[in-house]
A and B are shown apart, each in its own frame.
Chain A
């Protein structure tokens, strides 16, 4: 805390502390959420794996036809897994501050650190799960992603959008419990609109335009372009998604900053 260190050195130090804090928080989050009992940290992957498998099995059993001749199980699982990430990041945000506010006694830890570490962990786990599913589909069905980089890009966009929403919800929850009460309802009701379970080209032209207002729809289209290539038409705008992601995160940061001042620990 001396004034002797200044200039670029400070930056390096600040960044190093930032990464240390995030790393420590991620490790701590892993042990608080999963402990060392039974499967331990493997639960991180187990939950989305089991849910994804269940969704896949369900649609395999009902076996309806999808436009564009897409493989039913492949389509539903690769739609559900990114949605799972979105939902768990957003749903867990309102309780993030209450559950972790004792960490704020360490001046190096900020609300942003707390949220970011949780969301990065969630994102990493779900991306790992998606990789496992894609490898399994490759071996089982011989369907391999056409452009894996686009899948990663779409997932990162989804995580960034979810993170921005999470910051806003966490800030709102500092003011009122209502946020936690309604967020689960809202993620449930909006599920059909996120783009997880439809493709834009299935829709009539008018509805396509409306669907493309929603940033998560773009994320899903990017992911599907990465998965299916040009086998089916996809519509998305990377710039639009990035703009939303930046906007949501900036507003979230601002809200968090205001809410932090009135947080009672």
Chain B
């Protein structure tokens, strides 16, 4: 379970002022839930994922985590650019106590980076980074996955495989996906939430959430 209690976050802007992004978000995400969090650009979706992942801290409020949580997938986060994809896989395996050889092999198979797998990550395209990031997180086998829409959007063969892999995990993992496109969310999620004006509203029914998102 992940519990957010009255979470606030604002960022300092240049010039001394600050912008409040989250103003009192409270929510509970239970085991096995697949929640689509809808929000417009700049609504604070990525901020919310960063706070849940624990890489940044809320200014006020609490976040309780009772499961292992992935880093937000879909950005080039959590990787090291100056070392190769394979070295990143070795690093992840060491940190999360996974067998090294199998992890390196699994990531190589899943990410399909070809010879780039042995090259520094900084030479990758953004699509390749997303693939590597996702493959690394699947190798760790988290209890909760934080997903940005870009992971599963698109109609490439890889997007198809991502969807298959994530849907397979959904049976046993919690999934939180942020998106501004209801269609992407519909493919994965069973319930929804809307992030607007720094607050999060949960809806039991995904269609309700989508309707509320459109109405807003």
Chain A interface residues (CB < 8 Å from chain B): 1, 17, 20-21, 23-24, 27-28, 31-32, 35, 102-109, 260-265
Contacts and interface: CB of A to CB of B under 8 A. Distances in A.
A32 B68 contact: no
Given A21-B95, A265-B55, A107 B69 contact: yes
B166 to A, nearest CB: 19
A31 B83 contact: yes
Contacts of A32: 80, 82-83
B164 interface: no
26 contacts: A1-B65, A1-B66, A1-B67, A1-B68, A20-B94, A20-B97, A24-B94, A27-B91, A28-B80, A28-B87, A35-B82, A102-B80, A104-B55, A105-B55, A105-B71, A105-B72, A105-B77, A107-B54, A107-B69, A108-B96, A260-B57, A261-B57, A263-B56, A264-B11, A264-B56, A265-B56
Given A28-B83, A32-B82, A102-B80, A109 B55 contact: no
Nearest to A104: B55
Nearest to A33: B82
Nearest to B56: A265
Contacts of A17: 97
A104 B87 CA distance: 17
Given A21-B95, A107-B54, 13 more contacts: A1-B65, A20-B94, A24-B95, A27-B94, A28-B83, A28-B91, A103-B78, A105-B77, A106-B96, A107-B69, A262-B57, A263-B57, A264-B11
Interface in B32-81: 50, 53-57, 65-69, 71-72, 77-80
A31 B95 contact: no
B77 to A, nearest CB: 5
A246 B78 CA distance: 32
Contacts of B97: 17, 20
Interface of chain A, helix or strand or loop or mixed? helix
B87 to A, nearest CB: 6
A198 B84 CA distance: 46
Contacts of B91: 24, 27-28
Contacts of A31: 83, 87
A108 B83 contact: no
B137 to A, nearest CB: 10
Contacts of A108: 95-96
A118 B82 CA distance: 16
Contacts of B90: 27
A102 B66 CA distance: 23
Contact of A20 (B69, B95, B143): B95
Q: Which 10 A-B pairs have the closest CB atoms?
A: A24-B94, A105-B71, A105-B78, A261-B57, A32-B82, A265-B55, A107-B54, A105-B55, A104-B55, A105-B77
A107 B142 CA distance: 12
Contacts of B50: 265
B87 A102 contact: no
Contact of B95 (A1, A109, A261): A109
Contacts of A265: 50, 55-56, 77
A264 B91 CA distance: 23
A111 B21 CA distance: 25
